[in-house]
Structure 1
Amino acid sequence: MLRGPATVNIWADDVEAAKNWYAELLDVQPYFERPGNGAPAAYYEFRIGDRQTELGIIDRRFAPEGAATTPGGTVLHWHVDNVEATLERLLSMGAAPYMPLTEYGPGFVTASVTDPFGNVLGIMYNEHYLKTLGE
C-alpha cells in the first residue's frame, strides 16, 4: 500500500542550473550529490517540507527511454501557506504558468507552473494537509 512520497524525482538537462534554482526557491542546499561519470553531478537531492520529503534532480541523460520531454502527466502539489504569493515568486524566478490559480472551495486552492527545466511543479493550500499534520 502507498504510504506517502519517499522521493520525488525531476529531470533537467542542466543539473547544476536546476540545483541552483531549487536551492534559491527552497532556501536550502542539497544534502546529497552523485557524480556523473566524469561530468559534473548527475543527481542532487534535497530534503524539504514538513515531512522532509526527498526532491531529487536527475540529469536527463539518465531518463528512461521514451520518457516525456514536455510538461504533462502527474502533477504533485506541494502544500504552501499562500498559493498566490508562492505563484508570484515562482513566476518571478522564471517559471511559466501551467495551470492557473484555482479555488475549489474554502480551504482548497491550487496552481502549477513549469520550472525552467520543463518539470511541472504544483502548489496547493489544503486544509486537510494542515489537519493531518497537526494530528
Structure 2
Amino acid sequence: MTEGMKTIIYPVKDLARAKALYSELLGVEPVMDEAYYVGFRVGGQDIGLDPHGHSKGMTGPVGFWHVDDIRSAVSALLGAGAEAVQDIQDVGGGKLTAIVKDSDGNTIGLIQAA
C-alpha cells in the first residue's frame, strides 16, 4: 500500500521566516521555493512548509506516506475507521495529497506522485 513515509509538512504562518529557520536547521537551500510551498530535501527525506496548512486543518507537522493509489488508500483507511480531514487534492503537477486522522486524532498524510 505504501512506499514509506518520505515527507513531513509543517503548517507555517510566516513562510519567509520559516524558510530562513529551516534553511539554517537543515543546512540546505530549498529545492522548491514558491509562495504556496517551500520544500527541502535532506538525505532522501522531504521537508515542506505550507503557509495554508492551518486552513487545511493541520495543527502541527504531518508525516505523509507515499502511496501508489491514493484513492484506494484513503478508501481503505476510512473503511478501517479513519476520518477525513483533507479530501484528495491536486497540489500541482498531478501530485495528489490527502489527510485523514485515526481514532486518537493523530493525522496521517498521503501523497501520490504524478
TM-score, length-normalised on structure 2? 0.48
**Greater C-alpha radius of gyration:** 1
TM-score, length-normalised on structure 1? 0.41
